[in-house]
Amino acid sequence: MSGWKTCQKKTAGLLIAILGCAVPWSGCAKNPEEGWAMASTHESQYRTISIPMFTNDSWFRGLEVELGRSLVVEIESTTPYKVTGQGTADTLLRGRIRSARLIKLSSSVTTGLANEMLFKAELDFEWIDLATGETIVKREGFAASALFTPSRPSQETIDLARFGVVQQLATDLVDALRDDW
């Protein structure tokens, strides 16, 4: 009986080893149209991006500067692209901050002051191939929001929410620059 169990264990171990080798390769394909691919999802024909300051139609001044800084950091740290000046860039990323607003989510029953607030920003952007003038990616109504608690005991400032919104917009925008996937 113990010989049978040993044989079963060895067979099970061998089967697991074979499946362990075969399964990781089953999701990879040379051609992305055939299934999963390990290739980059970024456009390979472009190497550089110019990012002029976005226009800001909101009442929150400086939001465009914060977004510009975050976009440069996000692009250079998560994509194969380098941010350069417009004269030397392959592509141009331009945009407009449509709106930024505060939304009161809850208030204190005793004071009526805000307990929780949402900072929400919305923008439009366009990524353009400077050689052809064609639009690569265009999005309108691209939005992000961040929750903050201005009341006690947290007493979080609006700056914390602004930072969260700008970071989320930069991350989501850079994700949108990828090939359709």
Rounded average pLDDT over 46-56 = 96
Measured CA to CA in angstroms, residue 60 lies from 2, 21, 66 at distances of 76, 55, 11
Predicted TM-score of the model (pTM): 0.74
**In the predicted structure, residue 24 carries a pLDDT above the cut 50:** no
Model pLDDT, residue 181? 41
| Among 75, 73, 90, CA closest to 163 | 73
Bridge-based pairing state of the strands 114-129 and 48-50: unpaired
Phi, psi values for residue 121, rounded to 5°? -130, 150
Q: What pLDDT, in 10s, does the model give residues 143-181?
A: 999 999 888 888 888 899 999 999 999 999 999 988 644
Q: Which residues pair with 98 in a beta bridge?
A: none
CATH architecture designation of domain 42-176: 3-Layer(aba) Sandwich (3.40)
Q: Tokens 């208030």 appear where?
A: 107
Q: Which residue has the tokens 């700056």?
A: 159
Task: Say what the pLDDT of residue 109 is.
Answer: 84
Predicted pLDDT of residue 178: 82
pLDDT of residue 62: 96
**Please, what is the average pLDDT of the chain?**
82
Parse the chain into domains and list their residue ranges.
1-39, 42-176
Long-range contacts of 61-64 (CB under 8 A, 24+ apart): 63/97, 63/100, 63/121, 63/162, 63/166, 64/97
**pLDDT at residue 51, as a whole number:** 97
